[in-house]
Amino acid sequence: MYPTKNHPTFLLLLLAWVVMVPSFGQTPLDLKTAMQYAMTNHAEVQRAALEVEKGRELVRESIATGLPQVGVNAQMVYNPSLRTSLVPAEFFGGPAGQFQSIKFGTNWNGSSSIYLNQMLFSKTWLMGVRASYAVNDFYKLVLDKTKEDVAYEVAKMYYQVQLSRAQKGILEANLEQVKGLYKTISKQFEQGLATKTDVERLQVQQFNLETELKNLDLYIRQAEQALKFAMNMPLDTEIIMTDSISEQHLDEVDQLMLQPAFAQKTDLMVLKQQMKLYDLDERRWQAGYFPSLSFFANYNYEWQANSLNDFGTGQNWSNFSQIGVRLQAPIFDGFYKDSKRQTAMLNKRQVGIQLDHALAGLQLQHENAITTLRAQQNTLQSLRENIRVAEDVYDIAQKRYQQGIGNIVELLDAESSLRSAQANYLTVLAQLKLAEIDLLHANGKLTQLGR
């Protein structure tokens, strides 16, 4: 009995692999879920989220310096030795030109006070508050950028794992094919209808496929663990990846994103916000040349005596209060503020250069992704035809062997060519999906897949 055609059409096999049902105890994981999980649980995302919280507190801190400042002071002082002062002796009836030593004060002094300070005008404070809001917005953009970068890495790793899984499915199908041939040829050898060399060739081919499959299993396991680590998912979680590498949406993505649109790209938004921060910093130092005006008021209560026993004596207590405004106007600071202002201006120019370079990089990424999409879509059509031809060649080689006019080498060569055609198709398809991810990333729309 000769082996019959038992290899499924490659695209049907790929489709069957796509719709695998998760086993019990496994967590279904599509690309959207993986990205959502990573954008919530990744360590860098959590750190960036805390920076946003710190930004909110920075706003409160800057506003607080312009609100009323109310406080209470109290102290008790003991003077073991009172300070001695010299006064003209003639004040006490002594000769002119001489001095008399006198000690002023008491051994015990106590005081308490309550004070109020309120800023009335400060241009530096106003610019500082504006800057704090801008810093908070900056942290929010950094959070969005972090999510976008994490989603980008997870998406690429997800499709790399799926490519390996698809390759595994093809290897398993080819291995079953070779095993069937090996059993058939072994029986033929026992009947004297095949040579020992034919059997050994199939045995070597089977061993090679089994070894390749084991290595691929190891790689898939490591790639899945790396994906879970990138998502910050517990490494002992069993997952089944439900999205596949397919040609779906490739034409649609190509048509929708032929023209670059970087308005939503967080890399550029972060740099623009950074320029705004340096602009506000420059204006804040410029505002330092303006005077500031504040209101103050305090009420004080004092006690003085030479002994603590007199603490309750009413005549030893006194009080006084003050109300006023304070004007502070800088005159000369050795060009300190001007140096700070110039530094902020130079920092802003540096970020402007970064912004131009980042925009050029995004344009390059966009153009490369479009070029890859267009070129590989054409290649994909050729590879589909190549698979069909390779399947036909394999069928012919199989029939020739059955009829005794072909040999096992011809059959194995045809099987190897078919497997190579299938692998090439998967590789190009994976490159297309990665180009699609690059295109979405360049246009700042990748995180929309995870919403």
341 pLDDT tier (thresholds 50, 70, 90): very high
Report yes or no: 261 and 35 within 8 Å, Cβ to Cβ. no
- pLDDT bracket for residue 386 (50, 70, 90): very high
Return d(Cα 361, Cα 269) in angstroms, integer.
Answer: 15
Q: So what's the pLDDT on residue 2?
A: 39
- For 366, residues 6+ apart whose C-beta sits below 8 A from its C-beta are 257, 260, 439, 442, 443
- Which residue in this structure is represented by tokens 């953009």? 141
pLDDT of residue 1: 36
Q: Is 210 exposed, middle or buried (0-12, 13-18, 19+ CB in 10 A)?
A: middle
Q: Residue 367: what pLDDT?
A: 87
pLDDT at 262: 81
- What SS3 string covers 368-402? HHHHHHHHHHHHHHHHHHHHHHHHHHHHHHHHHHH
Residue 247 has a pLDDT of 58
Binned at pLDDT 50, 70 and 90, residue 318 comes out as confident
Sign of the CA dihedral with 42 first, then 45, 50, and 53 last: negative
Q: How far is CA 378 from CA 168, 382, 389, 418, 420, in A?
A: 25, 7, 17, 20, 19
Residue 395 pLDDT more than 70? yes
Q: Give the per-residue pLDDT at 3.
A: 41
Q: What does pTM read for this prediction?
A: 0.81
Per-residue pLDDT for 346 more than 90? yes
Mean pLDDT value across the chain: 87
CA gap 129, 126 in Å, rounded: 5
**97-153 pLDDT per residue, tens:** 788 888 888 888 899 999 999 999 999 999 999 999 999 999 999 999 999 999 999
Token digits of residue 430: 């994976």
pLDDT at 15: 43
pLDDT band at 312 (very low <50, low <70, confident <90, very high): low
Instruction: Tell me which architecture the domain covering 10-66+122-291+330-445 has in CATH.
Output: Up-down Bundle (1.20)
- Per residue in 138-193, pLDDT (tens digit) is 999 999 999 999 999 999 999 999 989 888 988 998 899 889 888 988 998 888 87
Task: Please state, in angstroms and rounded to a whole number, the distance separating the CA atoms of residues 35 and 232.
Answer: 11
| pLDDT grade for 25, boundaries at 50, 70 and 90 | low
Pairing outcome for strands 108-121 and 317-328: unpaired
User: How many CA atoms lie within 13 Å of 54's alpha carbon, on the beta-carbon side?
Assistant: 11
